Amino acid sequence: MSNLDPKIRIGRINYTNVWPIYYYFPELMESSEVDIIEQVPTSLNQAMAEGQIDMGPISSFSYGQFYEDYMLFPDLSVSSYGEVNSILLFHDKPLREIVNGKIILPTTSATSVNLLKIILEKFYKGKPTYEYAKPNLDQMMEGADAALLIGDDAIKESWQNTKYMITDLGQEWAKWTGKWMTFAVWAIRKETIHTYPELVATIFDAFKASKEKAHREPKYMIEEAQATVGGNSDYWHHYFHTLCYDFAAEQWEGLQSYYQYCYELGFLPKPVQIGIWEDNKVARVTE
């Protein structure tokens, strides 16, 4: 980024699961200082890796791929202990009966795709075959044993679904490991920290303040979710309060376990170190 341009380009996942951290962000942050770029997770992952975005939420798996180039904000994530409600596997037979079957994966996901592979291959000792497709459940299930959906696609299908069993990957992970699962992390490119240290700190404060205000005052956010996606206020109140937007020791521990399984299964080429930004310094998280 040119020194003549003070803007920091911030990614935003175009799913409701990140809304609490973003909902009040525009009123808390000078718009002239930042540029928000909204995309699906896999597109944001690529844009961050290529330096087209300077910070924002990325798939936890993508951080594992490029951790040497990034730091992570503390206190910001999309995590769950148990059900996540928007990372869902749809199948027409019990899960144990399809672990060697044909599984259709969405092109929009990185963390959840590899989480599913860990569950099927590591925990259930399955050897499924995988194919990728755009997130359309009926088309995905043609000739398949199961299909994975994430984000708002998963939410809407869970409301409409009448014929498939549903496995929540957050619940499965907690059942097998007893740990938290972090699906998205807030990453900053290291060169951005070095170039704009004060602005990075200001953005972090605005994100935290948005998260805290959304927790205190969820009414307008819930009404917008109803208008945009559907559902009723009880559903969205439950959804936003089931997800955890913190990122501290419990979440770090669960994420380290996820990375270790990814390394053991060959999804990542080497073990991952989690680097936490703090006052423009970095702290390493070790197991």
Q: Note whether 146 and 215 are same-domain residues.
A: no
Same domain for 59 and 97, yes or no, is: no
Domain-located, residue 285: no
Q: Are residues 69 and 191 in the same domain?
A: yes
Q: Do 238 and 195 belong to one domain?
A: yes
With tokens 């003549």, the residue in question is 4
Q: Is 219 left (phi over 0), alpha (psi -120 to 50) or beta?
A: alpha
- Work out the average pLDDT over 231-242: 95
Write down the pTM of the prediction: 0.92
Please list, in sequence order, all residues whose beta carbon lies within 8 angstroms of the beta carbon of residue 25, skipping any fewer than 6 positions away: 206, 207, 210
Q: Which of 205, 220, 228, 243 is nearest to 23 (CA)?
A: 220
Could you say which of 177, 212, 246 is where a domain stops? 177
Q: Are residues 74 and 91 in the same domain?
A: no
pLDDT digits (tens, 9 = 90+) for 238-269: 999 999 999 999 999 999 999 999 999 999 99
Whether residues 128 and 65 fall in one domain: no
Domain interval for residue 134: 87-177
Please check whether residues 203 and 185 belong to one and the same domain: yes
Q: Report the percent of the chain where pLDDT is more than 70.
A: 95
Shared-domain flag, residues 247 and 114: no
Flag whether 149 is in a domain.
yes
Q: Look at residue 55 and tell me if it is in a domain.
A: yes
Does residue 280 sit within a domain?
no
Total count of domains within the chain: 2
- The domain boundary residue, chosen from 155, 177, 199: 177
- 260 belongs to a structural domain: yes
- Going by C-beta distance under 8 Å and a sequence separation of 6 or more, which residues neighbour residue 186? 21, 55, 56, 57, 72, 73, 76, 77, 207, 247
Res 30: pLDDT: 75
Model confidence at 1: pLDDT above 50: no
Q: Quick one: average pLDDT of 40-44? A: 89
Does residue 120 form part of some domain?
A: yes
Indicate whether 120 and 236 sit together in one domain: no
Contact assessment for residue 79 and residue 244, using Cβ atoms and an 8 Å cutoff? yes
Identify the CA nearest to 56 among candidates 75, 74, 33, 73.
73
Looking at the fold, whether 186 and 251 belong to one and the same domain comes out as yes
Residues 16 and 74 in one domain: yes
The pLDDT of 179-202, averaged and rounded, is 95
Q: Residue 106: give its domain's CATH number.
A: 3.40.190.10
Residue with tokens 């994430």: 150
Three-state DSSP state, 63: helix
3 part of a folded domain: no
51-60, 156-165, 185-194, 223-232: which range is least confident on average? 156-165
Averaged pLDDT for residues 63-74: 97
For 39, the enclosing helix (H) or strand (E) is: strand 34-39
As a whole number, the mean pLDDT across the chain is 93
Question: For the residues 111-138, what does the mean pLDDT come to?
Answer: 97
Given its phi and psi angles, is residue 231 left (phi above 0), alpha (psi -120 to 50 degrees) or beta? left
Q: Is the residue at 283 inside a domain? A: no
Both 222 and 244 in one domain: the answer is yes
Domain boundary among 156, 177, 198: 177
pLDDT band for position 286 (50/70/90)? very low
Phi/psi zone of residue 286: left (φ > 0), alpha (ψ -120 to 50 degrees), beta? beta
